[in-house]
Amino acid sequence: MKRTSRILTLLLIVGVAIFSTSCSNKLKPLNQDNFNVTPSPIETVGNKVPVTVNGTFPEKWFHKNAIVTITPVLKYGNNQEVMGTPYSFQGEKVSGNRVTVPHSRGANMTMNSTFDYVPDMLSSELYLRFDGRVKSKRSNLPDLKVADGVVATSALADVKTTAPSVAPDAFQRIIEDVQEASIMFVIEQAKLRDSELNKTDVTDWKRRVEEAFNDPKQNVNVEVSAYASPDGGFSYNERLAAQREKNTSSYLEGEMSKRNIDTDVYAHYTAQDWEGFRQLVSASNLQDKELILRVLQMYPDTETREREIKNISYVFEDLAKTILPQLRRSRLIANIEIIGKSDEEIMAAWNGNPKELTVEELLYASTLTADEAVKERIFQYATANFSRDYRGWNNLGTIYFKQGDYAKAAQSFDRAAQVNPSAPEVNMNKALLAILENDLNKANELLGKSAGADGLDSAMGLLNLLQGNYNQAVSAYGNNVSNNAGLAHLLMRDYNKAKQTLDSVENPDATTAYLLAIIASRTNNFNDVMSNLRTAIGRDRTIAAQALKDLEFAKYRTNQDFMSILK
């Protein structure tokens, strides 16, 4: 009996030893107290969800022969999940490049992950998934929940509300036109020569003046500017230039009278045309022209200039042959105003006979109506009749973009790019489509080619919002008034400026009111939370379900009044 008892005792001791050995080869589950998550709650930055998990392996928890891989996992929606960056750790007796954790004292850890945000993540949970092994044996460690939900306010940035860039027309109601001709004189003479008066450019000039005067859509005035070359004394040249002006003016008055042209003639003269001299020398191939230009700069006194230039005898010889004769002249200048169609005439032509309209008048016509359907027809006509002008294709694409027909918008922008691939408006609009496809790298490249495009600041503001660069977004938006601009200020926690911006939105929508409700929640203004949410839900009923899941309003979920407006 005693022998049996001793055998049982021995078996019990062996069993306990085996059991103890077996237990020591397993890893125990960790608990939430071993981890903390920042930010808390988790928050989107742009369209990403960055998260940092700090944790601790307790003393004597990490087996010397263990390998543990921890992966953050964001679970959301209907059994959907996305895994973050895995981190691997090893015990002291394991060889490898993982982080070694001492058995006796444990260790701290930091794990960073970034998830691409999708709307279903508004209701989500962050878990840690463990893959633990001691030697060849796997330890069954359950997923450990470490955080709830995602604050996704930055994800309210919306490319669809960013206005695409319309290429401008170059229509001018009054077009300034200048027609010029010159009558040349012999040195030291003011006599008008028939050879000069019958030149083609003088004849064409008189014909153009007559045509403009007789056209009710044109206004014309005439200017005479007479000159003497800078060689010779100032007093002599002044008298000579004055006589040239007088003779030219008298001739023109007679020509105007014969043609029954009653228009103003403005006459003046320049005694020594040093400015004309400088321009001709600068444009010439004269030897030592830089020396002549330096003389002009060094000596403001006209007599000293003339003397110094004449002292350069070999240069002055060339000047006398090539430059000075061109300065002995009277310039005939016709200043003509061509008066274009009035707004009423342009729209009448569009509705009656659009073939009368130039491409500039046609594009301008699109600015005279607020009817988007009329704008669309104008741009379609422009693409059909002026297909080599990128603006018609681009502007038609902006209509499709605003309608939400992004496939047609892309086709139009592609056609515009075929005509003019460097057009800033086209590149900006293609960037908006890239943002729609979440291709921010491509959008950034295209916006780099969009300098000068109307609305570029808003597009840059949106891109910075989506990249999480909130300070740059605020700077890009400037004084722009839109939902996205208000959101940028909100994310910078400038709630006064955010509210001021959103209150100024010209056509507020459900998102406008929703953002105002978030501002009210963050500033603990429950009455404004309620009123703005009611407005938002009135504009879009789906906002109720969104607000119910949104952690921005989590503190009100026990409030019956709050819950009542969401049902």
Whether residue 55 has pLDDT greater than 80: yes
> Do 133 and 59 share a structural domain?
yes
Q: What is the pLDDT of residue 136?
A: 85
Q: What is the pLDDT of residue 131?
A: 95
Q: What is the pLDDT of residue 319?
A: 85
> Do 277 and 192 share a structural domain?
yes
Final residue belonging to a domain, choices 312, 339, 366: 339
- Strands 174-184 and 144-148, sheet pairing: unpaired
Q: What is the pLDDT of residue 5?
A: 53
> Do 186 and 108 share a structural domain?
no
Whether residue 9 has pLDDT greater than 80: no
Report DSSP letters for 251-313, one per residue: HHHHHHHHTT----EEEEEESS-HHHHHHHHHTS--TTHHHHHHHHHH--SHHHHHHHHHHSH
Confidence class for position 11, pLDDT limits 50, 70, 90: very low
> Do 182 and 327 share a structural domain?
yes
- CA-based torsion, 380, 382, 386, 388: positive or negative: negative
> Do 205 and 72 share a structural domain?
no
Provide the domain count of the chain: 2
Q: What is the pLDDT of residue 313?
A: 61
> Do 256 and 299 share a structural domain?
yes
Domain CATH number, residue 275: 3.30.1330.60
Range of the domain at 262: 174-339
Please state, rounded to an integer, the average pLDDT across all residues of the chain.
92
- Spatial contact of 154 and 491, defined as CB atoms under 8 Å apart: yes
What is the amino acid identity at position 104?
S
> Do 129 and 207 share a structural domain?
no
Whether residue 3 has pLDDT greater than 90: no
For residues 143 and 311, the model is more confident at 143
- Strands 218-227 and 329-339, sheet pairing: antiparallel
Please check whether residue 564 lies inside any domain of the structure. Answer: no
> Do 308 and 231 share a structural domain?
yes
> Do 84 and 130 share a structural domain?
yes
Q: What value does the mean pLDDT take over residues 83-101?
A: 96
Please check whether residue 278 lies inside any domain of the structure. Answer: yes
Please check whether residue 122 lies inside any domain of the structure. Answer: yes
Q: What is the pLDDT of residue 2?
A: 47
Final residue belonging to a domain, choices 320, 339, 358: 339
Confidence class for position 21, pLDDT limits 50, 70, 90: very low
Please check whether residue 291 lies inside any domain of the structure. Answer: yes
Confidence class for position 19, pLDDT limits 50, 70, 90: very low
> Do 193 and 146 share a structural domain?
no
pLDDT, one tens digit per residue, over 268-279 is 999 988 888 889
Q: Using the 8-state DSSP alphabet, how is residue 36 labeled? A: E
Q: What is the pLDDT of residue 365?
A: 97
> Do 239 and 146 share a structural domain?
no
Please check whether residue 506 lies inside any domain of the structure. Answer: no
Q: What value does the mean pLDDT take over residues 53-62?
A: 96
pLDDT, one tens digit per residue, over 58-81 is 999 999 999 999 999 999 988 899
